[in-house]
Amino acid sequence: MTNDQINHAISQLYGWSANYCTDLNAMHEAEEVLGSEALFEAYYLKLYDVTHSTLWPIRATARQRAEAFLKTLGKWEEVRP
């Protein structure tokens, strides 16, 4: 997904308007709605897959967090070449 598609998808979910792909603060707010421990754990695993890093909370970019967020919620759409 492009940055615009990611921003639009998250905006559609919650009615928020932000640039989630470049704004770590916006992604922090989005992460807060995950709520349950099970959903946050699923997000953690998706984020680990996206970053391929054991330092995920420290090094994950806003875009990586947005991708993992949408994948966790089943809203990620793969871009076909």
Structure tokens at 47: 């984020």
Instruction: For residue 3, count CB atoms less than 10 angstroms from its CB and return exposed for 0-12, middle for 13-18, buried for 19 or more.
Output: middle
CA distance 56 to 3: 20
DSSP string, 62-75: HHHHHHHHHHHTT-
Query: Structural domain boundaries of the chain?
Result: 3-72
pLDDT one digit per residue (tens) for the chain, 81 residues: 999 999 999 999 988 889 999 999 999 999 999 988 999 999 999 999 999 876 666 789 999 999 999 999 999 998 876
pTM greater than 0.75: yes
The pLDDT value recorded for residue 38 is 94
